[in-house]
Amino acid sequence: PPQFGSLGSLEVLSLRMRQDGGLTGTIPSELGRLTHLTHLTLSQGSFLDKNLYQLSGHIPQSLGNLVNLTDLRLDTNQLTGAIPSSFGNLVSLRVLDLSSNQLAGQIPDSFCKASQELFKRGDCVLGGMNAGPYDASGDQYTCPLP
């Protein structure tokens, strides 16, 4: 819910649903106010029916304000659109999982440049595939060469 945005000193927010329920609706843009967050997980887990209880809509640009994030997991939802250009601000990111969504498009240049080490380590999962250095194409993504 949007009220999470008022928890300014929160460092970890993990809502990983399992068999008996899940998250619905969109990701509140107010989460971008949680600038102390280091870990954010909004994931359905692998046990749910893929048609039930999933987050939908676009990833808010405001998540790019979470410059202290080291771990971001938004996997196994019905998120659509492209990766926000504001993700170029996530320079502390060490793990990114956006797999099992409906995302598509080009990875923003700013994010590719800021996350080269993330891609090199293979700690970036986009569209169900680990992204290699400078190329996260798989089926739906391209990352321009530097």
**Half-sphere exposure for 56 (CA within 13 Å, toward CB):** 7
- Output the CA torsion 120→124→2→38 (10° steps): -50
- Quick one: which H or E segment has residue 118? helix 116-121
Q: How far apart are CA 60 and CA 130, in angstroms?
A: 23
pTM value?
0.77
Which tokens is 62 given? Answer: 């405001």
Amino acid at 124: C
- Over residues 19-66, the pLDDT tens digits come to 555 678 899 999 999 999 999 999 876 555 555 558 899 999 999 999
pLDDT digits (tens, 9 = 90+) for 2-25: 677 678 789 999 887 655 556 788
- SS3 of residue 64 by DSSP: helix
Quote the tokens at residue 143: 């990352």
- First and final CA of the chain: distance in angstroms? 38
Distance CA 91, CA 112 (A): 10
